Amino acid sequence: MKVVVIGGVAGGAGVCARLRRNKEDLQIVMIEKGDYISYANCGLPYYIGNVIVDQNELLLQTPEGFGKRFNIDVRVKNEVTSVNLDKKEVVVLNHNSGEIYVESYDVLVMSPGAKPIVPGMKGIDKPHVHTLRTVPDTLNIKEYINREKPVNAVVVGGGFIGIEMGENLRHLGINVSIIEAADHVMGTVDSDMSHEIHNHIREKGANLYLNSKVVEIKDKSVLLEDGREVDGDLVIMSIGVRPETEFLKDSAINLGARGEIIVDEFMQTSQADVYALGDAVSVKSFVSGKENIIPLAGPANKQGRIVADNIVSKKVKYNGTQGTAIAKVFDMTVASTGESERSLKQNGISYKKVITYSASNATYYPGAEFMTIKLLFAPDTGKVLGGQIVGYKGVDKRIDTIASSIRAGLNVYDVQELELAYAPPFSSAKDPVNMAAYVAGNILDGIMKPFYIEDIEDIPKEDIILDVRTEQENQEGRIEGSINIPLDELRDRISELHKSKKYYIYCRVGQRGYIAQRILEQKGFDTLNLSGGYKFYEQFLIDQGNK
Amino acid sequence: MKVVVIGGVAGGAGVCARLRRNKEDLQIVMIEKGDYISYANCGLPYYIGNVIVDQNELLLQTPEGFGKRFNIDVRVKNEVTSVNLDKKEVVVLNHNSGEIYVESYDVLVMSPGAKPIVPGMKGIDKPHVHTLRTVPDTLNIKEYINREKPVNAVVVGGGFIGIEMGENLRHLGINVSIIEAADHVMGTVDSDMSHEIHNHIREKGANLYLNSKVVEIKDKSVLLEDGREVDGDLVIMSIGVRPETEFLKDSAINLGARGEIIVDEFMQTSQADVYALGDAVSVKSFVSGKENIIPLAGPANKQGRIVADNIVSKKVKYNGTQGTAIAKVFDMTVASTGESERSLKQNGISYKKVITYSASNATYYPGAEFMTIKLLFAPDTGKVLGGQIVGYKGVDKRIDTIASSIRAGLNVYDVQELELAYAPPFSSAKDPVNMAAYVAGNILDGIMKPFYIEDIEDIPKEDIILDVRTEQENQEGRIEGSINIPLDELRDRISELHKSKKYYIYCRVGQRGYIAQRILEQKGFDTLNLSGGYKFYEQFLIDQGNK
C-alpha cells in the first residue's frame, strides 16, 4: 500500500511517523511545498525577538534525518497542484527542477495547513509589509529588521500571532502599535476579560488601536479608516489565516465556505481513502457541537495519530476540538478553553458565569501572583462550558484543569471535588479552580446572587450600591454613587438599610460581598453581589480611560 | 441551634465560616486548645528557613478578627478534655484560667487534628529534640537555632515535613542528615521514582541514611541501630502523625486502631449530630475504596464545607480522598496522586505502568526542564489509578491534570484526548500527560511491550540487551552486557539479529526503543522496550553508588 501525505509540518509529519510505526512495509511519500518539515511554527515570533537565538532550534527534524529514521520518501519544495481522485493521483510541481509529475496513491492524506490572510489594500505590496507563517517568512522579517533597522512597527491584528509579534518586536526595542478591528485583542477571551490585557500591553509600552481598521499602508505609516495615521516602517499583517486548499478547488473533495476541508469523525474527507487534518479542516467544537476551523498545533498532532491509525487498522474517532489556547502576552499569560460567553450567545446556548480572583499559591509564601478566572457553566446541570484566565504564574496550570474538566464532562460540583496538589509554593488548599467552582455552585444553589461589571451602568437610581470594603479601600476608589459600610460593621449597622431597596453589594474581589450578601439575605434584604469585585471593575475603568 | 466546633485550624475554621454563611442565627462556639486559629501549617518549615520572613504571614486570621467577621465565639487556649454524648456536653479546660467548665451543644464538630509521633527512646526528652506541628513548635525551633547555633541537624523521617525541614535547615547553612527507616524517602512515591530524589538531595549537600533507624539520641549525635553515629546538635522528629483523639477514648464515638475517628460518607461519626473531619478521621481512598488516614490540608478544607452544609441543610457526600500530594524538595518538585504501585500491590489491585520522560515546555524555547512521569492504570479498562512525577518546572501542572483525570474516572485513551494548553513557553503540542497516556495506550494495545529497570538484573544470559542509541551515547554509559545498533542503522543491520533470541531494547528515554521495537516486531522478533530508558536506569545506578 502506498500513502501520499501532503504537508510535512505538525499534522503531516505526525501521520508519517505513526504510520511507519504501525506498518514497516507501507510505501510513504511526504510532499511538502516549503523548504522545511516539522519545524517549530509556534516558536517563530520568539526567534525574531531573539528569545530563541539559534535558528537550528526551529528545525525539529531535517528532511534527511526524518526520512532515514522512518523510511519515508520526503520531498521538500514539491507542491501538489491538483488531485485526480478517480485515478488516485496527485499532480506535483517540483520547485527545485521546475518539473511537473504525477504521483499515484492508494491512500491520500492532506495536511496542507493555512496561510495568512492578506487583504487587498493600497500599499499592501510594499517591501516593509510582512506576514509570519513559515521559516522563510521569519528569516525575511529578521533580515529586514537587521538591514532596515525599523523604528516603528505596526502589527495589524491583535490575535495570538499579532500579540506575540508585538511582544517580540518590543524586545528588540522597536516601538509597537497593535491595530485591532474588534473591541478587544485576543478574541478567544471575552471583552470583560480583555481590560486587564489591554492595560498590561500599554504598560509594556505598546500602543493599542482598538475598533480600528487599516485602509492603506504608506511608506512610514498606515492610515486608519477614521483618518488617523500610525507610524510604521515595518508592518506585520496578522489578521488571521485561511485553509490553503486552492489545489482542491476543482476536485470532488467537499470544501466549506472558507475553503476548509470537510471531514467526518474519522478525519476522512468526502472521498474514501482520502483523509485530511490540521489547520485546513473544519472540526466539531467539543462543547457546542458546531463545526469550526481551529488552527492549533495540539489538535493537529492528535489528529495525525488518529489518521495514521485509521489508515492501517483500528477506527478511532476524533471527538472534536475545544479550542484550548494559551499565549504569553509580555509578562502576562492569557488562556482559554471551551466556549466563550460570546460563542455561547451566538450559538444560543444558555449559561451562567462567575468571575473569581485567586492567588497562584499560598499568599504567605513568596512569589504568589494573582489571576482572574471566568468560568462559564450550564444553568441547569452546572456542566462546565468554558473557562478563561488572565494572570501570571500558574495560569497555564489552571486552564489545563478546566480543559480536563470540560473534556471529562464535569459539572461545577465535580470541579469543587477535584483534589489538586497543594503545598505553599504551588497552590492553596482550595485551588483557584476549586474556588471558581465553589462560587459557581453557590450561584447555582441560589445562595450567591451575582451581578456583573456590565450591569453597573444600568443599576436603577433608586437602588443602593453598597461597598462593604474598609473605609480606606473605599477612599482609594469606588463605584460612582456607592455607599460604604465595611463588612465587619454590617451586623451592627443593619438598621441603616431599607428592605424596600435593592442592594448591589461589592467588595474588592467578591468574597466579603458574598458574606455581606448572606447576612443581608437572611435578614430579608434583596441583594446582588458583584462577581469579580471592584478589582475587576477597576481594570475596565483603567482601560476605558486609555481608549 | 448551638454548634460547638473543636479545633480552629483548617478544618474547624472552614466549618465555622461556612456555617455562618449558611445561617446567621446559629450559635457557634469554636474551642481551640492552642494559641492560634487558622494558621499556615504548611508554611511553618519555610518560616524556620527564612523563606517566609514575617511571622505574621503565618497567622491567616486572628481569633478576634475571625470571631468578629463571622460572629463566632472563638476560645483559644481552651481544650476539650472529654465529651458527654448523652448530655450533649463537652468538658473544657481553660488553659488561661485553669478553670474547667462544661459547654452544651446541639451539634458537635470535631476537627482536633493530629500530633507528631514521638517514639520512646533514650534521649528523646533532650532539649535539642523537636517536633514541628504548630506555631509554638516553630517559634521554639527558630529560637533554639538562633540561640544555640546548631551545626549539624538530624532529621528523623524522610516524609514531607522531614524533607521540607531538611531543605530549610540547609538554607540556614546547617549540615543536614536525613534518616529514613524505609528504603526511600517520600513514601508517597514508589522506590523506582525515588532514585532521582535521593540523588538531588545529596547533590544539595544533605546526607541520606536510608533503611536506618535511630535507637538513641545523644547530646551531639544520634545512634543508629546498625551502630553508626550521625552528628546532630539539633534533632527534628518527623516520622509521622497520629490523630489527637485521646479526649474521646472513654466516649462511645467509634475510633479505629490508630485512634482515628470513623465517619460515614456525610462526615458524621457513629453518633447522630456529631461530625468529624480533617487529620483525625479516616476516609475512603477514592481509587481503592479502602479506609485510610490522609492528613492533608486540601481534603480537610473540602470536608469543612461539606460538614457545614450537612449540619444546616442539604446532605452532601464526601467521596473520598485520593491523596494528591506535592512537595518542593530543594530545587525539585515531587508529586503524586491516586494509588502508588506499592499500595496497588498491597490492595491486590492489578495494574499496568509506564515511565515517560518529557520536557516542561517546547525544548526550543528557553527554560525547558525535564520531568519523569509514572502512570499506573488498569490492565483491562485502562482506567487511571495513580500518577507520580519527579522533576522541576511544570510538575505541579501535570500532577493536577492526572489528579483531575482520576477524579473524573478517565482511562488512558481519554487522557490522550485531553486538550491541554500549548504555546512554547508552557508545554508541547503533545503535553507530557498526553505523552504518558499515549505510551500507556500503546502498552494496552500490545504495540509497545515494556520491561522495567527492576527487570534488568533478571534478564536471562541467553537473551540480548540491545542499545539503539548512538555510538557516542553508548560509550558514555550503558547497561552492562548490551550490544549497540543505533536506531537509524537498524533496518540495514537487521541480519545481525537472530529470531531465536529475545531482545531487551533500550534507548535514552524509550522513544527510539519503541520505534526499534516496532521495526523488529513486524519482522518477527520477540522484543521488550525499557520503560523510562537508560536515563531512568542511570538515576538508579547513581543512587546505588551512593548507598
Orientation of helix A395-407 relative to helix B395-407, angle to 10°: 20
CA A379 to chain centroid, in Å, comes to: 25
C-alpha pair distances (Å), B254 with each of A123, B275, B315: 83, 12, 21
- pLDDT of A2-13, one tens digit each? 999 999 998 999
Q: What is the mean pLDDT of chain A?
A: 96
- Rounded CA-CA distance A46/A138 in Å is 10
Chain-chain contact of A522 with B405 (C-beta, under 8 angstroms): no
- pLDDT of B225-244, one tens digit each? 999 999 999 999 999 999 99
With 90 as the cut, is the pLDDT of residue A314 above it? no
Chain A residue with Cα closest to B398: A397
β-strand A325-329 against B207-209: which pairing, if any? Answer: unpaired
With 90 as the cut, is the pLDDT of residue B374 above it? yes
pLDDT of residue B168: 98
pLDDT of residue B60: 84
Per residue in A232-258, is it b (16+ CB within 10 Å) or e — as a string?
Answer: bbbbbbbbbbbbbbebbeebebebeee
Chain A residue with Cα closest to B21: A518
With 80 as the cut, is the pLDDT of residue B547 above it? no
pLDDT band at A60 (very low <50, low <70, confident <90, very high): confident
With 70 as the cut, is the pLDDT of residue B156 above it? yes
- pLDDT of A454-509, one tens digit each? 999 999 999 999 999 999 999 999 999 999 999 999 999 999 999 999 999 999 99
Of A70, A364, A429, the CB nearest to B298: A429
Chain A residue with Cα closest to B428: A298
Which positions in chain A touch B419 (Cβ < 8 Å)? 286, 298-299, 302, 321-324, 337, 403, 407
E-strand ranges in A169-244 read: 175-179, 207-209, 214-217, 221-224, 229-231, 234-237, 241-243
Chain-chain contact of A407 with B414 (C-beta, under 8 angstroms): yes
Chain-chain contact of A420 with B404 (C-beta, under 8 angstroms): yes
Choose among A269, A320, A267: nearest CA to A291.
A320
pLDDT band at A93 (very low <50, low <70, confident <90, very high): very high
- Rounded CA-CA distance A237/A156 in Å is 5
- Rounded CA-CA distance A8/A62 in Å is 11
Distance from CA of A246 to the nearest CA of B (A): 27
Which positions in chain A touch B400 (Cβ < 8 Å)? 397, 400-401, 418, 420-421, 431
CB proximity under 8 Å: B 50-109 to A: 51-52, 57-58, 60, 68-71
With 80 as the cut, is the pLDDT of residue A270 above it? yes
With 80 as the cut, is the pLDDT of residue A546 above it? no
DSSP letter string over B448-482? S-EE-GGGGGG--TTSEEEE-S-HHHHHT---TT-
Of B297, B335, B362, the CB nearest to A40: B362
- Rounded CA-CA distance A264/A252 in Å is 15
pLDDT of residue A547: 59
- As given in the structure block, the three cell numbers for residue A77 are 519544495
With 90 as the cut, is the pLDDT of residue B546 above it? no
C-alpha neighbours within 13 Å on the C-beta side of residue A417: 18
Q: What is the percent of chain A with per-residue pLDDT over 90, rounded to a whole number?
A: 96
Q: What is the percent of chain A with per-residue pLDDT over 70, rounded to a whole number?
A: 100
- pLDDT of A368-420, one tens digit each? 999 999 999 999 999 999 999 999 999 999 999 999 999 999 999 999 999 99
Distance from CA of A25 to the nearest CA of B (A): 9
Distance from CA of A231 to the nearest CA of B (A): 30
CB proximity under 8 Å: A 479-518 to B: 487-488, 491, 514-515, 518
Which positions in chain B touch A69 (Cβ < 8 Å)? 487-488, 515
Rounded average pLDDT over A179-200: 98
Contacts of A125 (CB under 8 A, 6+ apart): none
A21 interfacial to chain B (CB closer than 8 Å):
yes
Q: What is the mean pLDDT of chain B?
A: 96
- pLDDT of B256-288, one tens digit each? 999 999 999 999 999 999 999 999 999 999 999
CB pairs under 8 A between A and B: 232
E-strand ranges in B279-424 read: 281-284, 291-292, 325-329, 332-338, 352-359, 370-377, 384-391
**Residue showing cell 529514613:** B180
pLDDT band at B426 (very low <50, low <70, confident <90, very high): very high
pLDDT of residue A438: 97
Distance from CA of A21 to the nearest CA of B (A): 6
Residue type, B454: E
- pLDDT of B302-357, one tens digit each? 999 999 999 998 789 999 999 999 999 999 999 999 999 999 999 999 999 999 99
Rounded average pLDDT over B7-16: 95
Of A322, A364, A408, the CB nearest to B408: A408
pLDDT of residue B187: 95
CA R_g for chain B: 26
CB proximity under 8 Å: B 273-292 to A: 286
Rounded average pLDDT over A137-164: 97
